[in-house]
Amino acid sequence: MASMLDLTAELRAAALSLDRYTGAANAGDAYWASEQAATLLYHEAQAGATMLEAADRIDDLLAVMVAEGTKDLTVEVTTVITYQTRLAALGFNRTEINAAHSIGMNNEDIEAARQARIAADPKDLAGSVMTRLADVAARLRLLGPVMLDPPTFDETAAGLATTAVGARSTTLARIYVSRIPFRIGNPGPEAATVELRVRRLDLPSDWMASVEPASVDLAPGEGVTGTITVRPGLPAVQGTQPRVAVEGFIDDELIGGVVVEVLVPRYAVGGLNRRVYLPLTLRH
């Protein structure tokens, strides 16, 4: 139960971050969208680890139940209907409401959960408790690694989608952090401080870009290496090349710049028709 409560909180945090990201992106607030996209990815990874932990705890519970000869509990359809009737007439009891509040659910969330349970098909909620627990553990083991290490290409959610196997659901690809080095120079005849500024060209609104160093003191003709870091947010359209510029200024006068492109790859099917030729190595 502790693992499932942790998982519930992490998934709720991820859902809230996604909602905030959407609002910020629609409002054109690049900073807040980037913050929420990064927070979403963090909570997804946390939830993925907890999914695997919860699956282990469920398996432990089932093993103890079997070892102790616990008789499986079968929930009858009539029992579910009685429960739904009680929810429709009286709602959740005080203990249930306090439990929901303890994991951060507000009254609107609780009401939404009540309506969902009332609307559910009793046949879907009935059946063997032990079988249902085993099924939950199996599903968590499938989804956990996907949350921890999301696939680069959005293809039927690693087999979890309901579409036909092999059919792409979107044309998106997930990109990870890129760090690109570039040269910083002082073209002037005197020592100067070169200030570096990031200018977004066509980066998605939830992508973040930063440069190091922010400024550097250089002698005439001297050069050093800087680094621009691009932190993507949500998946981007395959085949696109988001760009960002880094510009150098001396006393607020532009002295030059560089444009960095991040390639979002296209999905390609591998298999027998694709060959990779390697160098031939002979062993004596």
Under a CB-based contact definition with an 8 Å cutoff, are residues 237 and 263 in contact? Answer: no
Is the pTM above the cut of 0.85?
Answer: no
Under a CB-based contact definition with an 8 Å cutoff, are residues 200 and 244 in contact? Answer: yes
- Interatomic CA distance for residues 48 and 6, integer angstroms: 11
DSSP at 166: T
Under a CB-based contact definition with an 8 Å cutoff, are residues 21 and 41 in contact? Answer: no
Cα dihedral sign, 131-135-136-140 = positive
Query: Domains in the chain, ordered, with CATH?
Result: 2-153 (no CATH), 172-261 (2.60.40.2310)
Q: What is the pLDDT along the chain (284 residues), one digit of tens a residue?
A: 899 989 988 998 888 888 887 777 667 676 677 677 778 888 888 999 999 999 999 999 999 999 999 988 899 999 999 999 999 999 999 999 998 888 778 899 899 999 999 999 999 889 999 999 999 999 999 999 888 877 666 544 333 333 333 444 567 887 778 888 999 999 999 999 999 999 999 888 778 888 999 999 999 999 999 999 998 877 888 888 899 999 999 999 999 999 998 888 777 655 555 555 666 666 66
The predicted pLDDT at position 122 comes to 93
Under a CB-based contact definition with an 8 Å cutoff, are residues 14 and 44 in contact? Answer: yes
Strands 253-261, 192-200: pairing is unpaired
- Interatomic CA distance for residues 52 and 99, integer angstroms: 23
The predicted pLDDT at position 28 comes to 62
